[in-house]
Amino acid sequence: DYELSEADPEVREIINKEKERQFKSLELIASENFTSRAVMEAVGSCLTNKYSEGLPGKRYYGGNEHIDELETLCQKRALAAFHLDEKKWGVNVQPLSGSPANFEVYTAIMNPHDRIMGLDLPHGGHLSHGFMTPKRRVSGTSIYFESMPYRLDESTGLVDYDMLEKTAILFRPKLIIAGASAYPRDFDYPRMRKWLTTWHWKIADAVGAFLMMDMAHISGLVAASVVADPFEYCDIVTTTTHKSLRGPRGGMIFFRKDPILGVDLESAINNAVFPGLQGGPHNHTIGGLAVCLKHAQSPQFKAYQDKVVSNCRALAGRLIELGYKLVSGGSDNHLVLVDMRPMGIDGARAEKILDMASITLNKNSVPGDKSALVPGGIRIGSPAMTTRGFTEKEFVAVADFIHEGVQITLEAKKLVKGSKLQDFMKFVTSSDFSLMNKVSD
Ligand code: PLP
């Protein structure tokens, strides 16, 4: 048995280079984070060797006594980390990642071609919430289910709940999905759930739909109670585990134990995960997740999440001072969405130039974008650099660096006007390649 450097120096070298890139760049991608050494130790352990199809105590393979102990511990910690009563809520910790977790929920509670409503991708939603273009059903969710996205009110940058309600009453979806990949504000769960007043519908109940929250981006903030609690109002909550939560790459599905709309969510969801869509759980990931969920109950984790939010506010404040327009005017969570169009630049160019200066963030659609191919905004997140110890002061400096990068881009744009480089940039930003970059985020 050899060390990696001996067994495969080529892969070792690639890992070394990636480690250096991560170390040297300003990591501002809102969906990324640096997990802990303890999580990585569990993920790189012998747990990866074991097959354990099934659930604790009900496996299709022998030799699972320790894996049973691990998965049960992980489930208990997951419920504790999100302040859930074990009698009312259950959790499946086996989903391989966020998109499979969502698809597993859909197949658990719906038949093919049942109707769903999620936030439209160009308005901040995720591919797996039913994205399609006018020409193409892009995501498996929109291929196997009928999707009618809801959108933001373009004048405020906030979810247009009035329109969602009107559309839901006509479309009568089986599932309404809260949650997003690029939305800087809290969702209004009570509004999405029940009666607002005796005469006004609240959306999911009015149409007899399940309400699910995909809290992938903000699960760390939810665990630390620094944003609104989706569990109070939702039937099902899904999440990735590697974003603000700082765990290994993976997914979880939380479900109410009481039957909802006549469906026993516990068995429907567990069966959808295995044998419905997955085989053997990734036990090394479940090990890493258990470690992360222990940490998520600590005072240090709460302090970290507080800083994620205050750092993001400092970044937002400075960008506004520098004259940038933020979608919704600011942020309640870990990300800001900057509309670059008033600056005379698009998100694709800004991303490229900033990348050259080791500032890693991503281009993003903003409401009102004419073309989905050349998005007008950038998304900036605070979790990763907060993990690396940045405070508000450093995030103000980050805003200044971004501004400097944008100024240089504007200068460069003047210089390249009419040159071959301009044609090349047009090609890069209008090709399918650029669309794939955008939608795969
Ligand atoms: N849900 C949301 C809201 C996301 O932002 C993402 C990824 O960014 C996912 C789900 C998908 O997660 P994964 O990439 O792990 O499949």
The tokens describing 132, both together, are: 């399609």
Indicate which atom in ligand 1 lies nearest the CA of residue 100.
16
CB atoms within 10 A of CB 273: 24
Q: Please state, as a whole number, how many other Cβ atoms lie within 10 Å of the Cβ of residue 86.
A: 12
Tokens of 63: 């030799």
The answer to whether residue 240 is catalytic is yes
Distance (angstroms) between ligand 1 centre and the Cα of 379 equals 15
The best mutation among 29, 31, 219 to test binding of ligand 1, ranked by most ligand atoms within 8 Å of the C-beta, falls on: 31
Reduce the DSSP state of residue 336 to 3 states and report it: strand
* Predicted local confidence at residue 426, as pLDDT: 62
25: Cβ contacts below 8 Å, ≥ 6 apart: 358, 359, 360
Task: Report which DSSP code applies to 201.
Answer: -
Atom of ligand 1 nearest to the CA of 182: 5
Look at residues 108, 159, 103 and name the one whose alpha carbon lies nearest to residue 131: 103
Residue 24 sits at the vertex; the CA angle it makes with 23 and 30, to the nearest 5 degrees, is 75
**How far apart are the CA of 248 and the centre of ligand 1, in A?**
13
- Written as tens digits, the pLDDT of the chain (441 aa) is 789 999 999 999 999 999 999 998 999 999 999 999 999 999 999 999 999 999 999 999 999 999 999 999 999 999 999 999 999 999 999 999 999 999 999 999 999 999 999 999 999 999 999 998 888 888 899 999 999 999 999 999 999 999 998 998 889 999 999 999 999 999 999 999 864 333 445 677 667 889 999 999 999 999 999 999 999 999 999 999 999 999 999 999 999 999 888 889 999 999 999 999 999 999 999 999 999 999 999 999 999 999 999 999 999 999 999 999 999 999 999 999 999 999 989 999 899 889 988 999 999 999 988 776 789 999 999 999 999 999 999 999 999 999 998 988 787 777 666 666 566 556 545 544 444 344 433
Q: How distant, in Å, are the alpha carbons of 50, 116, 174, 277, 369 from that of 108? A: 26, 13, 12, 10, 35
Location of structure tokens 């999707």: 147
- For residue 85, give every residue at least 6 positions away whose Cβ sits within 8 Å of its Cβ, in sequence order, or none: 79
The answer to whether residue 65 is catalytic is: no
Dist. CA 112 → ligand 1 center (Å)? 22
Per-residue model confidence (pLDDT) at position 425: 56
Q: What is the pLDDT of residue 405?
A: 87
Contacts of 106 (CB under 8 A, 6+ apart): 116, 141, 144, 145, 175
Mutational pocket test of ligand 1: of 33, 105, 121, 126, the residue with most ligand atoms within 8 Å of the beta carbon: 126
363 is catalytic: no
Distance 126 CA to ligand 1 centre (A): 7
Which is the closest atom of ligand 1 to the Cα of 179? Answer: 3
Q: Which residues line ligand 1 (CB under 6 A)?
A: 31, 97-99, 126, 128, 179-181, 214, 216-217, 240
Residue 424 is predicted with a pLDDT of 54
The rounded distance, in Å, linking the Cα atoms of 30 and 378 is: 11
Catalytic residue among 71, 120, 146, 214: 214
Task: Give the Cα separation of 324 and 346 in Å (integer).
Answer: 13
Interatomic CA distance for residues 208 and 175, integer angstroms: 9
The greatest distance separating any two alpha carbons of the chain, rounded to the nearest whole angstrom, comes to 71
Phi-psi region of 310 (alpha: psi -120 to 50; beta: other; left: phi over 0): alpha
CA 219–ligand 1 middle distance (angstroms): 12
In this structure, what token pair is assigned to residue 133? 């273009």
Q: Is 161 a catalytic residue?
A: no
Give CA–CA dist 347/425, Å, rounded: 12
pLDDT at 61: 94
ipTM above 0.90, yes or no: yes
- Ligand 1, residue 97: give the atom nearest the CA: 15
Q: Which residue has the tokens 């969502």?
A: 102
